[in-house]
Amino acid sequence: MKNKQTPDLRFSDFSGDWEQRKFFDNIKSIVDFRGRTPKKLGLEWSDSGYLALSALNVKDGYIDPSADAHYGDEELYQKWMGRKELKQGQVLFTTEAPMGNVAQVPDNKGYILSQRTIAFNVDENKIIDDFLSVLLRSPKVFNELSSLSSGGTAKGVSQKSLSQLKVKVPQSLEEQKKIGELLNQLDNTIALHQQELDTLKQTKQGFLQKMFPKEGESVPEIRFPSFTGNWEEHKLKDIVDLLKDGTHGTHKNGKGAFLLSAKNIKNGQIIIDELVDRKISADDYNSIFKNYKLMNEDLLITIVGTIGQTALYTEFTSKIAFQRSVAIIRGNEDINQNFLKSTIDSCYVQKQLVQSASMSAQAGVYLGDLEKLTINIPELSEQTKIGNFFKQLDDTIALHEQELDTLKQTKKAFLQKMFV
């Protein structure tokens, strides 16, 4: 069978086969300061100046200046970089730990090329930076690099590995430009959505700090108008009708119901992966729920591993049960479940959970610890107002997460189908 020479998805303006080349046929030179440190140059890092780019802050498609940030002054920059200054748009590639992250130099402010990261000077008659950036992130090229890399769990790519790499490239620089522009624009859209999502989550954290009483206090810093009076302090066991954890039993694989764990409670939602999450038999499912059943708006909280993640149960088309790493809490008639979720999410209660987990032999919270949690409770009408406020905020966050995931899946599909 003849090797494929054109991508599955292509701009309509272009036709003809892509050209297979050795990777280095597209590259004039590589900037690589492997092993260089300030100490070897007789200098030290500074508190400000030129940002050093390493494998820790070169991410997938962008630079994260907050990750392990080191800076060099003018003297260090000149000694380190010499005449090999990085240019805006130049492609950066992490060679190990992690291997294969790709980003482009964001501007011409000047950067120090640091540990486990290299930069490419391209042959502009054969390839453009924007296309090289997305080519290296395509699954076909990444998988080829992985097979050529050395090492065990911490794989690395050497220049020798790169010399063995073969890539397929459109001969038209205009086609390269269009592909690069499309995927870089998608990257920018993803980054913008991520920033909006991060802002929403930070906003929620701010409200969680201010809309619930701090330790030792009986009123919150911020309150809806028309509500006055102190909140009442209770132990969790005194305000619930149900407080239990998931099954402790061992169950064989079956076809009856999903058996979920703490890993399935994420960002206020119950996440099921139908291809990965295991199922148990209908008999085991019925045995688990012999003495109780899950009800709409039951509060789920992770108590083993990642402590304190919460979600409200809503009826699924698929039957689900939980392992012991998840507890189920159902408030009494005087408790609004949306409020209960929010107060468990609050800083004061999360702090109690962390303290309980650190005191146990295993990294977990026992039911006895949950029973003793101190919860501050206002009247039901105020609970409802607060619960609805945070539910709306959680729904907005969930919508943004879905949109972001859709964008990432779109990008993944383009990277799969737009390269040979």
Predicted TM-score of the model (pTM): 0.87
Does position 401 have pLDDT exceeding 80, yes or no? yes
pLDDT, tens digit (0-9, with 9 covering 90-100), for 60-94: 899 999 888 999 999 999 999 999 999 999 999 99
Triad 408, 313, 332: Cα angle to 5°: 145
Q: What is the CATH class of 227-379?
A: alpha beta
Question: Do 19-171 and 227-379 fold alike per CATH?
Answer: yes
β-strands 117-122, 27-32: how paired? Answer: antiparallel
| Average pLDDT over all residues of the chain | 95
| 3 state SS of 106 | coil
- What pLDDT was estimated at residue 248? 94
- What pLDDT was estimated at residue 150? 73
For domain 19-171, give the fold: Adenine-n6-DNA-methyltransferase TaqI; Chain A, domain 2 (3.90.220)
Q: Are 420 and 10 in contact (CB under 8 A)?
A: no
Q: Domain map of the chain by residue range?
A: 19-171, 227-379
3-state helix, strand, coil in the chain (%, to 5): 35, 20, 40
- Taking the alpha carbons at both ends of the chain, their separation in whole angstroms is 15
